[in-house]
Amino acid sequence: MTFARLIASTAFALTLTACGGGPIELVGEYTTSFAFDESITEETWGTTSIEDYDNDANWAVTRNPADAMFGADLYLKQVWTEPKADGSFHYCIVDFNLPTLEAAQTSTQTADASDPDNSGCGGFGWTGMTRK
């Protein structure tokens, strides 16, 4: 293992420890309310990398890839509703195009989860996720 890879692995492990010691609670394969397939792994949410998260507070900071058409290398803050017994949930990107991880972690932007199918996410409904 190279030194850089060791550092990256250690940083990821420390992030997991800071977040309760386990993976993000949403790991799985989903169909969105827009009829797209979306995958969440321990390290990625769709095409973005998961940089930080809090399962108890239901938020994640993700980062766009360097070759993204929009917002390359910039951070997003996402919030989600508590997953139901069948694994379904809703999520909303509450802040985006943030220059640093810290800016995303400390973002105070919020969303209203009272009617996620229809509103509360920047004037729109939240993205619904149904486990495959």
Could you report the per-residue pLDDT of 37-84, keeping only the tens digit for each? 999 999 999 999 999 999 999 999 999 999 999 999 999 999 999 999
User: What pLDDT, on a 0 to 100 scale, did the predictor assign at position 51?
Assistant: 98
Domain of residue 45, residue span: 24-131
pLDDT in tens, 77-117: 999 999 999 999 999 999 999 999 999 999 999 999 999 99
User: What pLDDT, on a 0 to 100 scale, did the predictor assign at position 20?
Assistant: 55
Residue 39 within a domain = yes
Residue 90 within a domain = yes
User: What pLDDT, on a 0 to 100 scale, did the predictor assign at position 127?
Assistant: 98
Residue 1 within a domain = no
Give the integer Cα–Cα distance in Å for 60 and 19: 10
Residue 18 within a domain = no
CB burial of 69-108 (b: ≥16 within 10 Å; e: otherwise) equals eeeeebbbbbbbbebeeebebbbbbbbbebeeeeebeebe
Residue 51 within a domain = yes
Residue 76 within a domain = yes
Q: Strand 59-63 and strand 48-54: pairing?
A: antiparallel
pLDDT in tens, 9-50: 444 444 444 455 699 999 999 999 999 999 999 999 999 999
User: What pLDDT, on a 0 to 100 scale, did the predictor assign at position 17?
Assistant: 40
Residue 95 within a domain = yes
Query: Count of domains in the chain?
Result: 1
Residue 3 within a domain = no
